[in-house]
Chains A and B, each alone.
Chain A
Amino acid sequence: GAVVSQHPSRVICKSGTSVKIECRSLDFQATTMFWYRQFPKQSLMLMATSNEGSKATYEQGVEKDKFLINHASLTLSTLTVTSAHPEDSSFYICSARPSGWATDTQYFGPGTRLTVL
């Protein structure tokens, strides 16, 4: 089946630094990828929709200057958490929607656990 990878799987960084998380669709092209955030024991919260070749669409309340999204190719989207603070510590998950499919299938990545000290 379709596979989505994320890198890194977990990262620990110091407050004030920036962290980049990659989301790749390994065996299909994805015009659209989604970035989610999940706090402990809570459901996924959509942060932004990443569109290949254009600007990302951010959900209300998500700071676009803090969470930079780049979807440079049909198989790669990146989320950069800039000037990270402890409150940014969370589990970040991406999903990818295969291009051209008539259905709403989304394939999820394994997630990246970010800890900001």
Chain B
Amino acid sequence: KNEVEQSPQNLTAQEGEFITINCSYSVGISALHWLQQHPGGGIVSLFMLSSGKKKHGRLIATINIQEKHSSLHITASHPRDSAVYICAVSPFPLQGAQKLVFGQGTRLTINP
């Protein structure tokens, strides 16, 4: 079993829909990251959070440390949101250069 599990693996929705992507992890962490990878390959860091909730534009990320669970929400989804969304965690204990442990990614397709 992977230390970081995402669901769903694939998600197709219509423009305007509210999107939720889930991430569960099994290790203690210092931080959780949500990343976006477009078809061209480049990766953008969307959020890094260790508690609570963060919002940036139409994107909202939440984390529940006790339940070891995080969600990424997209409101008013748009075709340009189509990408692979990756959850990654920085596990405890902190040891020098901190490695990330990645989920397998969620491929999101928003149809016009």
Query: Is the CB–CB distance between A108 and B45 below 8 Å?
Result: yes
Q: Are A49 and B97 in contact (CB under 8 A)?
A: yes
> Which residues of chain A come closer than 8 Å to B41, judged between CB atoms?
38, 91, 93, 110-111, 113
Tell me whether B42 and A104 are in contact (CB under 8 A): no
A57, B98: Cα distance in complex, Å: 12
Q: Is the pair A103, B45 in contact by a Cβ cutoff of 8 Å?
A: no
CB of B54 closer than 8 Å to a CB of A: no
- Looking at chain A's contact residues, the main secondary structure is strand
Q: Identify the stretch in B20-28, B71-79, B100-108 within 8 Å (CB) of chain A at 4 or more residues.
A: B100-108
Please name the residue on chain A nearest to B87 by beta carbon: A43
A77 CB within 8 Å of chain B: no
Q: Distance in Å from the Cβ of A106 to the closest Cβ of chain B? A: 7
- Given A43-B86, A43-B104, A103-B48, also A108-B99 (CB < 8 A): no
Residue from B40, B43, B48 in contact with A105 in the complex, judged by beta carbons closer than 8 Å: B48
Distance of A38 from chain B, by nearest CB (Å): 8
> Is B100 touching A106 in the complex (CB atoms < 8 A)?
yes
A contact residues around B97 at 8 Å (CB): 31-32, 34, 49, 51, 57, 97
**Within 8 Å CB of A113, what residues of B?**
41
Interface, chain A (partner B; CB < 8 A): 31-32, 34, 38, 42-44, 46, 49, 51, 57, 91, 93, 95, 97, 103-111, 113
List 19 contacting pairs A-B, 8 Å CB cutoff, sorted by A: A34-B100, A42-B104, A44-B86, A44-B102, A49-B97, A51-B97, A91-B41, A93-B43, A97-B97, A97-B98, A104-B30, A104-B31, A104-B90, A104-B98, A105-B48, A106-B45, A106-B100, A108-B42, A110-B41
